[in-house]
Amino acid sequence: MRNEKMRPRTVKIAVKVGGFTMPIADIRIQRFAELLKPETELRCKQCNAIPVWHGGYECPSCGSKYNHWSQLKRVVKATGEPITQTRFTDEKTDVMADAYVMALTDFANYVDATLTEYGVTVRDETSAVNLRKLLIAIQRLEKVIVITFKDTYEERVAVLTVSLSGRILLKEIIPINLQDIKETMKVNLNDLTPEEIKEAEQFVKMLPLATESNLKVDDHRTIGISEAERVSPKVQQLEAILVKAKAKP
């Protein structure tokens, strides 16, 4: 089941205090970058007609059927000129990715719009040691680790990051030459005064404490899903792997 894409809308952030609702901010939320679509289209390999989707691709002209888009012919929409799609890798081969480092101040000049996020685990202790070094560079040295690799048919650009809950993530971003940028806001909190920090501290004391219930939803997506099906997630602790490695003779 795919989640419905949230439409752009205005959200009024409010706090309930003493039975009263106190608005604290009106914000406009929307995706701040979309993936530009190429000026190409898929055609039937047999008769060059545009196929339709019926649980698979079906040509309305000659009746040819295709299970996957890669079996079709991709052409330039304006001219019909065929495009050769290079197959970079197959599913059975480990993908070789390249790692690069960029200063956080330099990376701030670009838009890191997320396409999707992937959880990260490691296969061996050496990988754990080196991954920890990259994370230290991110957290303490103000560096950005950029990872690039060739997927089956497309090139991927990602950044290594850590979520608010401490999960190590590889965040795939929209390549900067494929971005359709919307209106955005940026902030720089490097020059905060002690007074501003104190005011912020007092301000958030008005907020009620979040609990586990605030991290759940109650809508049509929960129908038929019991609490028993929510298995505790398996978490691989990087520190535990490193301790185990040091303990080896």
Residue with tokens 């090139």: 155
Residue 44 lies in a domain: yes
**202 and 239 together in one domain:** yes
Residue 22 lies in a domain: no
Residue 138 lies in a domain: yes
Angstrom distance (rounded) from CA 35 to CA 190 = 31
**143 and 170 together in one domain:** yes
**230 and 187 together in one domain:** yes
- Choosing from 76, 100, 130, the residue where a domain stops is 76
pLDDT at position 240 over 90: no
Average confidence (pLDDT) over 207-232? 78
Surface-to-core class of residue 172, CB atoms within 10 Å of its CB (0-12 exposed, 13-18 middle, 19+ buried) = middle
**229 and 140 together in one domain:** yes
Residue 25 lies in a domain: no
**202 and 221 together in one domain:** yes
User: 196 lies in which domain range?
Assistant: 86-249
Residue 29 lies in a domain: no
**208 and 99 together in one domain:** yes
- Choosing from 76, 103, 132, the residue where a domain stops is 76
- Choosing from 30, 57, 76, the residue where a domain stops is 76
Residue 23 lies in a domain: no
**151 and 198 together in one domain:** yes
**119 and 72 together in one domain:** no
Residue with tokens 């002690």: 194
**64 and 157 together in one domain:** no
**137 and 60 together in one domain:** no
Portion of the chain with pLDDT greater than 70, in percent: 94
CB 10 within 8 A of CB 26: yes
3-class SS at 105?
Answer: helix
Is pLDDT larger for residue 233 or for residue 199? Answer: 199
114-140 pLDDT, tens per residue?
999 999 988 888 899 999 999 999 999
25-59 pLDDT, tens per residue?
888 888 888 888 888 999 999 999 999 998 899 99
Average confidence (pLDDT) over 47-73? 92
**123 and 239 together in one domain:** yes
The pLDDT assigned to 229 comes to 55
Number of compact structural domains in the chain: 2
Angstrom distance (rounded) from CA 45 to CA 65 = 10
The pLDDT assigned to 163 comes to 93
Is pLDDT larger for residue 210 or for residue 248? Answer: 210
Helix or strand run (H / E) with residue 127:
helix 125-140
Residue 192 lies in a domain: yes
* Dihedral of alpha carbons 11, 12, 14, 20, sign: negative
